[in-house]
Amino acid sequence: MDIKELIRDIPDFPQPGIMFRDITTLLSHGEGLRHTIDTLTQKCQMAGLVPDYVVGMESRGFLFGVPLAYHLEAGFVPVRKPGKLPGAVHQIEYDLEYGTDSLEIHQDALQNHHRVLIVDDLIATGGTAKATADLLEKIGCEILGFAFIIELVGLGGREKLPDVPIISLVDY
């Protein structure tokens, strides 16, 4: 099955000149969604990635991270935008093209010896994935790898990430 055929292209969203890769069509296709999760699981297993936890970034990283964690027999930990988690948090601020943003994780979610796999739907410039890795390394976690459904290869996000396995299923 070609996952790319299930991803809809939406031109000029969210602004003119941008080609948005919409995964809602993939999510709504039962067989395609199963194939995507199964393929991601197999690629992680083939790469020898055996995490204690899968960490997914808000919000689409949750959609793929939870079933992947289930199949890898790992826990799942969300990384969220500020103000979304009710307990005490670790926070990291990172640069955007114009300004900054922040990510948070519960302070009691992970410890310094945990092995983690970071998951999101897409890697573009790599800013959010790198910030997540930086946050987890600050806690003392071992970053085993990254898993993405889509990689926008021309934007160089992969080069910003630590030297660990990086899995992507579809390249644009």
- The answer to the question of residue 156 being in a domain is yes
C-alpha distances in Å from residue 165, one per residue of 12, 49, 70, 78, 117? 32, 8, 20, 21, 10
- The answer to the question of residue 27 being in a domain is no
- The answer to the question of residue 115 being in a domain is yes
pLDDT, residue 152, reads: 97
pLDDT, residue 98, reads: 77
Q: What is the set of active-site residues? A: 60, 97
Q: Per-residue confidence of the chain (172 residues) as pLDDT tens digits?
A: 999 999 999 999 999 999 999 999 999 999 999 999 999 999 999 999 999 999 999 999 999 999 999 999 999 999 999 999 999 999 999 988 778 999 999 999 999 999 999 999 999 999 999 999 999 999 999 999 999 999 999 999 999 999 999 999 999 9
CATH of the domain at 55: 3.40.50.2020
Say how many C-beta atoms besides its own lie within 10 A of residue 172's C-beta.
16
According to DSSP, the β-strands at 115-123 and 53-57 are: parallel
Cα–Cα distance between 104 and 111 in angstroms, integer? 15
pLDDT, residue 33, reads: 98
- The answer to the question of residue 129 being in a domain is yes
Q: How many domains does the chain have?
A: 1
- The answer to the question of residue 36 being in a domain is no
- The answer to the question of residue 136 being in a domain is yes
Q: Which residues pair with 89 in a beta bridge?
A: 106
Q: 125: domain range?
A: 48-171
